[in-house]
Protein backbone atom coordinates (compact mmCIF):
# COMPACT_ATOMS: atom_id res chain seq x y z
CA UNK A 1 0.00 0.00 0.00
CA UNK A 2 1.38 3.36 -1.09
CA UNK A 3 0.04 6.78 -1.94
CA UNK A 4 -2.12 9.48 -0.32
CA UNK A 5 -5.55 9.17 1.28
CA UNK A 6 -7.80 12.20 1.68
CA UNK A 7 -9.39 12.60 5.10
CA UNK A 8 -12.58 14.43 6.03
CA UNK A 9 -12.31 17.47 8.25
CA UNK A 10 -12.84 16.94 11.95
CA UNK A 11 -16.51 16.55 12.76
CA UNK A 12 -15.82 17.38 16.42
CA UNK A 13 -14.14 20.69 15.57
CA UNK A 14 -16.69 21.51 12.86
CA UNK A 15 -19.77 21.10 15.04
CA UNK A 16 -18.29 23.09 17.93
CA UNK A 17 -17.15 25.84 15.56
CA UNK A 18 -20.62 26.06 14.00
CA UNK A 19 -22.28 26.56 17.40
CA UNK A 20 -19.71 29.19 18.39
CA UNK A 21 -20.01 30.93 15.02
CA UNK A 22 -23.77 31.15 15.56
CA UNK A 23 -23.36 32.50 19.11
CA UNK A 24 -20.74 35.00 17.88
CA UNK A 25 -22.88 36.14 14.98
CA UNK A 26 -20.32 35.54 12.26
CA UNK A 27 -16.89 34.43 11.14
CA UNK A 28 -15.61 32.38 8.19
CA UNK A 29 -15.18 28.62 8.68
CA UNK A 30 -13.00 26.84 6.14
CA UNK A 31 -12.63 23.11 5.50
CA UNK A 32 -15.84 22.21 7.29
CA UNK A 33 -16.52 18.50 7.47
CA UNK A 34 -18.70 16.96 4.76
CA UNK A 35 -19.97 14.45 7.34
CA UNK A 36 -23.73 14.15 7.58
CA UNK A 37 -23.66 15.34 11.21
CA UNK A 38 -21.96 18.60 10.24
CA UNK A 39 -24.12 19.20 7.18
CA UNK A 40 -27.15 18.60 9.41
CA UNK A 41 -25.90 21.06 12.02
CA UNK A 42 -25.44 23.71 9.32
CA UNK A 43 -28.96 23.22 8.00
CA UNK A 44 -30.58 23.36 11.42
CA UNK A 45 -28.68 26.46 12.52
CA UNK A 46 -29.61 28.17 9.24
CA UNK A 47 -33.34 27.91 10.05
CA UNK A 48 -33.93 29.95 13.24
CA UNK A 49 -37.69 29.94 12.78
CA UNK A 50 -38.18 26.16 12.74
CA UNK A 51 -40.58 24.89 15.40
CA UNK A 52 -39.49 21.25 14.96
CA UNK A 53 -35.77 20.47 14.88
CA UNK A 54 -34.74 16.95 13.83
CA UNK A 55 -31.23 16.00 14.99
CA UNK A 56 -31.61 12.60 13.29
CA UNK A 57 -29.00 10.20 14.76
CA UNK A 58 -26.33 12.82 15.51
CA UNK A 59 -25.32 12.87 19.19
CA UNK A 60 -23.36 16.12 19.02
CA UNK A 61 -26.20 17.84 17.17
CA UNK A 62 -28.78 16.68 19.73
CA UNK A 63 -26.71 17.67 22.75
CA UNK A 64 -25.24 20.92 21.45
CA UNK A 65 -28.57 22.13 20.09
CA UNK A 66 -30.35 21.35 23.36
CA UNK A 67 -28.17 23.96 25.07
CA UNK A 68 -28.05 26.34 22.09
CA UNK A 69 -31.82 26.41 21.54
CA UNK A 70 -32.38 26.96 25.25
CA UNK A 71 -29.94 29.86 25.66
CA UNK A 72 -31.20 31.55 22.49
CA UNK A 73 -34.74 31.41 23.89
CA UNK A 74 -36.16 29.21 21.14
CA UNK A 75 -39.54 27.51 21.37
CA UNK A 76 -39.17 24.24 19.51
CA UNK A 77 -39.50 20.47 19.58
CA UNK A 78 -36.07 18.81 19.38
CA UNK A 79 -36.33 15.23 18.17
CA UNK A 80 -34.29 12.51 16.46
CA UNK A 81 -34.31 8.95 15.17
CA UNK A 82 -35.55 5.98 17.18
CA UNK A 83 -31.98 5.24 18.30
CA UNK A 84 -31.44 8.90 19.26
CA UNK A 85 -34.53 8.66 21.45
CA UNK A 86 -32.89 5.76 23.31
CA UNK A 87 -29.77 7.77 24.20
CA UNK A 88 -30.09 9.46 27.63
CA UNK A 89 -30.00 13.23 27.89
CA UNK A 90 -31.41 13.76 31.38
CA UNK A 91 -28.16 14.95 32.97
CA UNK A 92 -27.86 17.77 30.43
CA UNK A 93 -31.53 18.71 30.72
CA UNK A 94 -31.34 18.78 34.53
CA UNK A 95 -28.31 21.09 34.35
CA UNK A 96 -30.01 23.43 31.88
CA UNK A 97 -33.13 23.52 34.05
CA UNK A 98 -30.98 24.65 36.98
CA UNK A 99 -29.72 27.48 34.80
CA UNK A 100 -33.28 28.53 34.03
CA UNK A 101 -34.18 26.66 30.84
CA UNK A 102 -37.77 25.49 30.45
CA UNK A 103 -37.45 22.00 28.94
CA UNK A 104 -39.97 19.16 29.01
CA UNK A 105 -39.99 15.58 27.77
CA UNK A 106 -42.47 14.65 25.05
CA UNK A 107 -42.26 10.89 25.68
CA UNK A 108 -40.01 9.11 28.17
CA UNK A 109 -38.49 10.99 31.09
CA UNK A 110 -34.77 11.54 30.53
CA UNK A 111 -34.83 10.96 26.75
CA UNK A 112 -35.62 12.91 23.59
CA UNK A 113 -37.82 14.29 22.08
CA UNK A 114 -37.54 17.51 24.06
CA UNK A 115 -39.94 20.44 24.23
CA UNK A 116 -37.96 23.68 24.65
CA UNK A 117 -39.80 26.80 25.81
CA UNK A 118 -36.97 29.28 26.36
CA UNK A 119 -36.03 30.44 29.87
CA UNK A 120 -38.29 30.33 32.91
CA UNK A 121 -37.20 33.87 33.76
CA UNK A 122 -35.62 36.79 31.93
CA UNK A 123 -32.30 35.80 33.47
CA UNK A 124 -31.22 32.32 34.59
CA UNK A 125 -31.61 31.94 38.33
CA UNK A 126 -29.68 29.61 40.64
CA UNK A 127 -29.38 29.57 44.41
CA UNK A 128 -25.65 28.93 44.07
CA UNK A 129 -25.10 32.31 42.39
CA UNK A 130 -24.43 34.62 45.35
CA UNK A 131 -23.81 37.83 43.41
CA UNK A 132 -24.75 39.09 39.98
CA UNK A 133 -21.13 39.06 38.86
CA UNK A 134 -20.44 35.60 40.28
CA UNK A 135 -20.78 32.54 38.02
CA UNK A 136 -23.65 30.14 38.46
CA UNK A 137 -22.22 26.92 39.88
CA UNK A 138 -23.26 23.43 38.87
CA UNK A 139 -22.00 19.99 39.78
CA UNK A 140 -21.71 17.64 36.81
CA UNK A 141 -20.50 14.06 36.73
CA UNK A 142 -17.18 13.81 34.92
CA UNK A 143 -17.78 10.28 33.62
CA UNK A 144 -20.69 11.27 31.39
CA UNK A 145 -20.30 12.14 27.72
CA UNK A 146 -18.00 15.12 27.28
CA UNK A 147 -20.58 16.46 24.84
CA UNK A 148 -22.84 17.33 27.79
CA UNK A 149 -20.02 19.29 29.40
CA UNK A 150 -19.08 20.98 26.12
CA UNK A 151 -22.70 21.94 25.46
CA UNK A 152 -22.90 23.67 28.84
CA UNK A 153 -19.50 25.34 28.55
CA UNK A 154 -20.26 26.88 25.15
CA UNK A 155 -23.33 28.69 26.47
CA UNK A 156 -21.58 29.72 29.70
CA UNK A 157 -20.45 33.17 28.48
CA UNK A 158 -24.06 33.94 27.50
CA UNK A 159 -25.23 33.67 31.13
CA UNK A 160 -25.23 36.58 33.60
CA UNK A 161 -22.20 35.96 35.77
CA UNK A 162 -21.06 33.10 33.55
CA UNK A 163 -20.83 29.46 34.61
CA UNK A 164 -18.62 27.31 36.83
CA UNK A 165 -18.88 23.54 36.37
CA UNK A 166 -17.60 21.35 39.17
CA UNK A 167 -16.68 17.95 37.76
CA UNK A 168 -17.22 15.04 40.12
CA UNK A 169 -15.64 11.60 39.87
CA UNK A 170 -13.50 10.37 37.01
CA UNK A 171 -13.42 12.78 34.06
CA UNK A 172 -13.61 11.11 30.63
CA UNK A 173 -12.73 12.46 27.18
CA UNK A 174 -10.95 15.49 28.64
CA UNK A 175 -9.23 16.28 25.29
CA UNK A 176 -12.68 17.02 23.83
CA UNK A 177 -13.30 19.44 26.70
CA UNK A 178 -9.95 21.11 26.00
CA UNK A 179 -10.90 21.35 22.32
CA UNK A 180 -14.15 23.08 23.26
CA UNK A 181 -12.39 25.59 25.49
CA UNK A 182 -9.69 26.32 22.91
CA UNK A 183 -12.35 27.06 20.29
CA UNK A 184 -14.31 29.18 22.76
CA UNK A 185 -11.18 31.26 23.34
CA UNK A 186 -10.63 31.52 19.58
CA UNK A 187 -14.08 33.13 19.32
CA UNK A 188 -13.36 35.53 22.19
CA UNK A 189 -14.78 33.53 25.07
CA UNK A 190 -13.15 33.86 28.48
CA UNK A 191 -12.83 30.38 29.94
CA UNK A 192 -10.32 28.44 32.02
CA UNK A 193 -9.68 24.97 33.37
CA UNK A 194 -9.32 25.04 37.16
CA UNK A 195 -8.70 21.30 37.45
CA UNK A 196 -11.76 20.11 39.34
CA UNK A 197 -13.81 22.95 37.87
CA UNK A 198 -14.28 24.57 34.48
CA UNK A 199 -15.18 28.24 34.32
CA UNK A 200 -16.69 30.39 31.58
CA UNK A 201 -16.86 34.09 32.34
CA UNK A 202 -19.69 36.27 30.98
CA UNK A 203 -19.12 38.19 27.78
CA UNK A 204 -19.96 38.28 24.11
CA UNK A 205 -18.31 35.96 21.61
CA UNK A 206 -16.65 37.74 18.68
CA UNK A 207 -16.80 36.68 15.01
CA UNK A 208 -13.60 34.88 14.01
CA UNK A 209 -12.26 32.91 11.07
CA UNK A 210 -11.06 29.34 11.55
CA UNK A 211 -9.79 26.46 9.39
CA UNK A 212 -10.86 23.00 10.55
CA UNK A 213 -8.16 20.34 10.91
CA UNK A 214 -8.46 16.94 9.23
CA UNK A 215 -10.01 14.23 11.36
CA UNK A 216 -7.74 12.04 13.50
CA UNK A 217 -10.60 9.60 14.13
CA UNK A 218 -10.84 9.00 10.37
CA UNK A 219 -7.06 8.71 10.19
CA UNK A 220 -7.21 5.74 12.57
CA UNK A 221 -8.70 3.53 9.84
CA UNK A 222 -5.74 4.23 7.56
CA UNK A 223 -3.38 3.43 10.41
CA UNK A 224 -5.20 0.10 10.64
CA UNK A 225 -4.74 -0.50 6.91
CA UNK A 226 -1.01 0.18 7.05
CA UNK A 227 -0.72 -2.19 10.03
CA UNK A 228 -2.49 -4.99 8.11
CA UNK A 229 -1.06 -4.29 4.63
CA UNK A 230 1.87 -6.17 3.02
CA UNK A 231 5.32 -5.51 4.44
CA UNK A 232 6.88 -2.20 3.39
CA UNK A 233 3.59 -0.33 3.04
CA UNK A 234 3.43 3.40 3.67
CA UNK A 235 0.83 6.11 3.25
CA UNK A 236 0.50 9.91 3.47
CA UNK A 237 -2.44 11.58 5.21
CA UNK A 238 -2.63 15.37 4.59
CA UNK A 239 -4.20 18.01 6.82
CA UNK A 240 -3.21 16.61 10.23
CA UNK A 241 -1.35 18.76 12.76
CA UNK A 242 1.43 17.82 15.18
CA UNK A 243 -0.16 20.07 17.82
CA UNK A 244 -3.79 19.06 17.63
CA UNK A 245 -6.82 19.73 19.82
CA UNK A 246 -8.25 16.32 18.91
CA UNK A 247 -7.94 13.61 21.52
CA UNK A 248 -7.87 10.90 18.86
CA UNK A 249 -4.34 11.95 17.95
CA UNK A 250 -3.60 9.32 20.59
CA UNK A 251 -3.71 6.88 17.67
CA UNK A 252 -0.08 7.88 16.93
CA UNK A 253 1.25 6.31 20.13
CA UNK A 254 -1.20 3.41 20.18
CA UNK A 255 -0.44 2.29 16.64
CA UNK A 256 3.31 2.61 17.21
CA UNK A 257 2.82 -0.47 19.44
CA UNK A 258 0.85 -2.20 16.67
CA UNK A 259 3.43 -1.63 13.95
CA UNK A 260 2.85 1.80 12.39
CA UNK A 261 5.42 4.60 12.60
CA UNK A 262 4.31 8.24 12.20
CA UNK A 263 6.41 10.98 10.62
CA UNK A 264 4.98 14.50 10.85
CA UNK A 265 5.27 16.50 7.64
CA UNK A 266 4.67 20.19 6.89
CA UNK A 267 1.04 19.35 6.12
CA UNK A 268 0.07 15.95 7.43
CA UNK A 269 1.73 12.66 8.35
CA UNK A 270 3.49 9.77 6.63
CA UNK A 271 2.74 6.30 7.96
CA UNK A 272 5.21 3.45 7.60
CA UNK A 273 4.70 -0.16 8.59
CA UNK A 274 7.03 -1.53 11.26
CA UNK A 275 6.88 -4.52 13.62
CA UNK A 276 4.40 -4.65 16.55
CA UNK A 277 6.06 -4.31 19.94
CA UNK A 278 3.92 -6.92 21.75
CA UNK A 279 0.98 -6.88 24.12
CA UNK A 280 0.00 -3.79 26.13
CA UNK A 281 -2.74 -2.15 28.18
CA UNK A 282 -4.52 0.93 26.84
CA UNK A 283 -6.88 3.35 28.58
CA UNK A 284 -9.48 4.72 26.12
CA UNK A 285 -11.09 7.16 28.56
CA UNK A 286 -9.90 10.14 26.52
CA UNK A 287 -10.24 8.52 23.08
CA UNK A 288 -13.20 6.09 23.09
CA UNK A 289 -13.77 6.40 19.33
CA UNK A 290 -10.47 4.59 18.71
CA UNK A 291 -11.48 1.47 20.62
CA UNK A 292 -13.07 -0.41 17.72
CA UNK A 293 -10.16 0.25 15.39
CA UNK A 294 -7.59 -0.93 17.92
CA UNK A 295 -9.57 -4.02 18.90
CA UNK A 296 -9.82 -5.19 15.28
CA UNK A 297 -6.14 -4.59 14.50
CA UNK A 298 -4.97 -6.26 17.72
CA UNK A 299 -7.13 -9.29 16.96
CA UNK A 300 -5.91 -9.56 13.37
CA UNK A 301 -2.25 -9.28 14.42
CA UNK A 302 -2.77 -11.59 17.41
CA UNK A 303 -1.40 -8.95 19.78
CA UNK A 304 -2.96 -9.25 23.26
CA UNK A 305 -4.35 -5.90 24.34
CA UNK A 306 -6.18 -5.05 27.56
CA UNK A 307 -8.63 -2.18 27.04
CA UNK A 308 -9.99 0.06 29.79
CA UNK A 309 -12.01 3.28 29.82
CA UNK A 310 -14.75 1.86 27.58
CA UNK A 311 -17.71 2.95 29.73
CA UNK A 312 -19.11 5.43 27.20
CA UNK A 313 -19.18 2.82 24.41
CA UNK A 314 -22.44 1.42 25.76
CA UNK A 315 -24.36 4.61 24.85
CA UNK A 316 -22.87 5.44 21.46
CA UNK A 317 -24.65 4.89 18.12
CA UNK A 318 -25.01 1.32 19.34
CA UNK A 319 -23.72 -0.70 22.29
CA UNK A 320 -20.24 -0.85 20.80
CA UNK A 321 -18.91 -3.39 23.29
CA UNK A 322 -21.65 -5.87 22.40
CA UNK A 323 -21.20 -5.14 18.69
CA UNK A 324 -17.44 -5.71 18.88
CA UNK A 325 -17.83 -8.92 20.82
CA UNK A 326 -20.35 -10.26 18.33
CA UNK A 327 -18.47 -9.37 15.15
CA UNK A 328 -14.98 -10.30 16.36
CA UNK A 329 -16.26 -13.75 17.22
CA UNK A 330 -17.08 -14.31 13.53
CA UNK A 331 -13.35 -13.98 12.77
CA UNK A 332 -12.09 -16.15 15.62
CA UNK A 333 -11.34 -13.38 18.10
CA UNK A 334 -12.77 -12.36 21.47
CA UNK A 335 -13.30 -9.25 23.57
CA UNK A 336 -13.63 -10.62 27.09
CA UNK A 337 -14.33 -8.67 30.29
CA UNK A 338 -11.77 -10.17 32.66
CA UNK A 339 -12.50 -7.75 35.50
CA UNK A 340 -14.88 -4.85 35.85
CA UNK A 341 -13.99 -2.38 33.10
CA UNK A 342 -11.04 -4.45 31.84
CA UNK A 343 -11.51 -6.06 28.43
CA UNK A 344 -8.94 -8.34 26.80
CA UNK A 345 -8.63 -8.82 23.04
CA UNK A 346 -7.53 -12.36 22.26
CA UNK A 347 -7.44 -14.64 19.24
CA UNK A 348 -7.85 -18.37 18.80
CA UNK A 349 -7.46 -18.77 15.07
CA UNK A 350 -8.10 -15.49 13.32
CA UNK A 351 -9.30 -15.92 9.75
CA UNK A 352 -10.86 -13.70 7.08
CA UNK A 353 -12.79 -15.43 4.34
CA UNK A 354 -16.04 -13.93 3.16
CA UNK A 355 -17.68 -13.04 6.49
CA UNK A 356 -20.39 -10.40 6.67
CA UNK A 357 -19.88 -7.60 9.19
CA UNK A 358 -23.04 -6.15 10.74
CA UNK A 359 -22.71 -2.42 11.37
CA UNK A 360 -25.56 -1.81 13.87
CA UNK A 361 -26.27 1.65 12.36
CA UNK A 362 -22.74 2.61 13.50
CA UNK A 363 -20.31 4.25 11.08
CA UNK A 364 -17.30 3.24 13.16
CA UNK A 365 -18.18 -0.46 13.02
CA UNK A 366 -18.09 -0.30 9.21
CA UNK A 367 -14.76 1.51 9.02
CA UNK A 368 -13.04 -0.38 11.84
CA UNK A 369 -13.66 -3.76 10.18
CA UNK A 370 -13.07 -2.62 6.58
CA UNK A 371 -9.25 -2.95 6.81
CA UNK A 372 -9.69 -6.71 7.27
CA UNK A 373 -10.26 -6.83 3.50
CA UNK A 374 -6.45 -6.77 3.29
CA UNK A 375 -6.54 -10.31 4.72
CA UNK A 376 -9.42 -11.65 2.63
CA UNK A 377 -12.81 -10.73 1.17
CA UNK A 378 -15.48 -9.41 3.53
CA UNK A 379 -18.97 -7.98 3.16
CA UNK A 380 -19.93 -4.87 5.13
CA UNK A 381 -23.64 -4.63 5.81
CA UNK A 382 -25.33 -1.20 5.41
CA UNK A 383 -22.19 0.52 4.10
CA UNK A 384 -24.00 3.87 3.80
CA UNK A 385 -23.58 4.38 7.57
CA UNK A 386 -20.17 5.97 6.87
CA UNK A 387 -21.96 9.13 5.69
CA UNK A 388 -22.20 10.11 9.36
CA UNK A 389 -18.51 11.03 9.53
CA UNK A 390 -16.61 9.98 6.35
CA UNK A 391 -18.89 10.02 3.28
CA UNK A 392 -15.99 9.45 0.85
CA UNK A 393 -14.57 6.46 2.73
CA UNK A 394 -15.41 3.76 0.17
CA UNK A 395 -14.25 5.98 -2.71
CA UNK A 396 -10.93 6.54 -0.94
CA UNK A 397 -10.57 2.77 -0.51
CA UNK A 398 -11.04 2.30 -4.24
CA UNK A 399 -8.39 4.94 -4.93
CA UNK A 400 -6.05 3.00 -2.64
CA UNK A 401 -6.55 -0.15 -4.70
CA UNK A 402 -9.37 -1.95 -2.94
CA UNK A 403 -12.13 -3.56 -4.97
CA UNK A 404 -15.41 -2.20 -3.58
CA UNK A 405 -18.61 -3.54 -5.13
Q: Which residues are catalytic?
A: 289
Beta-strand ranges (E) seen in 29-97 are 29-30, 52-54, 75-79
The torsion angles phi and psi of 114, rounded to 5 degrees, stand at -120, 140
Up-side HSE of residue 274: CA atoms within 13 Å toward CB? 15
Q: Is the peptide bond before 113 cis (omega within 30 degrees of 0)?
A: yes
Instruction: Give the integer Cα–Cα distance in Å for 174 and 84.
Output: 23
* Cα–Cα separations (whole angstroms), residue 37 to 7, 10, 13, 91, 163: 16, 11, 12, 22, 27
Q: Is 9 helix (H, G, I), strand (E, B) or coil?
A: strand
| Alpha-carbon span 2 to 35, nearest angstrom | 25
Half-sphere exposure at residue 143, Cβ-oriented, CA atoms within 13 angstroms: 9
- In this structure, the dihedral spanned by the alpha carbons of residues 164, 37, 253 and 245, taken in order and rounded to 10 degrees, is -40
Q: How many CB atoms within 10 Å of residue 275?
A: 8
Question: Measuring CA to CA, how many Å separate 164 from each of 131, 136, 173?
Answer: 13, 6, 19
Among 391, 394, 359, smallest CA distance to 373 is for 394
Report d(CA 342, CA 335) in Å as an integer: 10
Amino acid sequence: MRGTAQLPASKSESNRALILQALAGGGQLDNLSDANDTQLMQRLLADPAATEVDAEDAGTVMRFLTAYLAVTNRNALLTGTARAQERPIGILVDALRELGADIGYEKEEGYPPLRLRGWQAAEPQNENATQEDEPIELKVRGDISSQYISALLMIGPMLPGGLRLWLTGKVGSRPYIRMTMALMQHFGGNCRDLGTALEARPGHYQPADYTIESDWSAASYWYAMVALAPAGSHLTLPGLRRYSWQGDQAIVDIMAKLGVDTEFLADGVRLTQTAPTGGFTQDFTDCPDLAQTVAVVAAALNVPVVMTGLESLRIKETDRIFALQTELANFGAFLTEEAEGHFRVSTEEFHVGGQTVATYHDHRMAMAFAPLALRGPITVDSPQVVRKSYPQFWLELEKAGFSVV
